[in-house]
Amino acid sequence: MVLERVSTGVPKLDRILGGGFIRGKTYLITGETGVGKTILSLQFLLEGLRNGERVAYVSLDERVQGVLDGAMTLGWDLWSYYRMGLLYPFEIRIFSEDLRKYGKSSKAYIDTIIKMTNGGQVSRIVLDPISAMAFGALEEFAVREYIREIILFLEEKIGATTVLTCDIPSGSNRLSRFGYEEFLSSGVIVVGLRNVGGRLVRTLMVRKMRWSPADMTVYTFEIMHKRGVVIGPPLTSLESGQPVSGQEERFEQEERFPDEFDVSSP
């Protein structure tokens, strides 16, 4: 059986992943604050929107209006898709005292998503950031079960391809805030910052991709107006001072100037 793939919205990332995300599965984008996790997750949603899909953006931390207004600075008019009824942006606040008391009441959370998305008729969902769900929880088991059940409900009851974002402390070698989000996901993309020659460079690496032969090279990337995340050469090329190879240069040009990737207007 051939697994159906879903584009991330970043052509080179699709190639790195072996063809994109597997439809209906859950993926984690993790890294320090301010490295581009939310932008990459929005780019995933925008790929669906430009194909006429209905998608949901669930904010667990920041105000949704701030996220959509922030996307405008990149040239992404998400408000237009909202007015068209294709984008369902909303906020869910989970307080630590509620998590301690209702640690396994994940059904209510999923029911809220279904209600806010017109019966769960969405093909893509972003939960940003998943780490905000469990701050202040005293019992590790409650947090683990809460997140596990939410992922299972999303995959089995809604069937959407889901992206979770997760903040990790600066300088940490961990892949997630609580240490088990990566085990519950079908794939993990790690974004970060490296100091190369006295300047900070954004990096991206696929740390895990279940059921797919992914490329685990550490790549560099930029965030560009209207294009969002643009993946460049491997980090080793910059660290060694070697020129970008012909194939990598061609891939880079495809990322910078794809024929049809323009989400500035619906």
- Residues 236 and 253: their CA atoms lie apart, in Å, by 19
pLDDT digits (tens, 9 = 90+) for 156-178: 888 999 999 988 766 556 555 55
User: What is the layout of strands, in order, in the sheet containing 187-196?
Assistant: 87-91, 55-59, 124-128, 161-167, 26-31, 187-196, 199-209, 219-224, 228-234
User: Is 60 exceeded by the pLDDT of residue 51?
Assistant: yes
Task: Return the bridge partners of 203, or none.
Answer: 192, 220
- 9-256 carries CATH number 3.40.50.1700: no
* pTM for the model: 0.83
Phi, psi of 211 (to 5 degrees): 65, 30
Domain spans, the chain: 9-256
- Give the pLDDT of residue 72: 97
pLDDT digits (tens, 9 = 90+) for 61-106: 889 999 999 999 999 999 999 999 999 999 876 554 444 444 445 6
- Give the pLDDT of residue 142: 64
Task: Name residue, tokens 């949704």.
Answer: 64
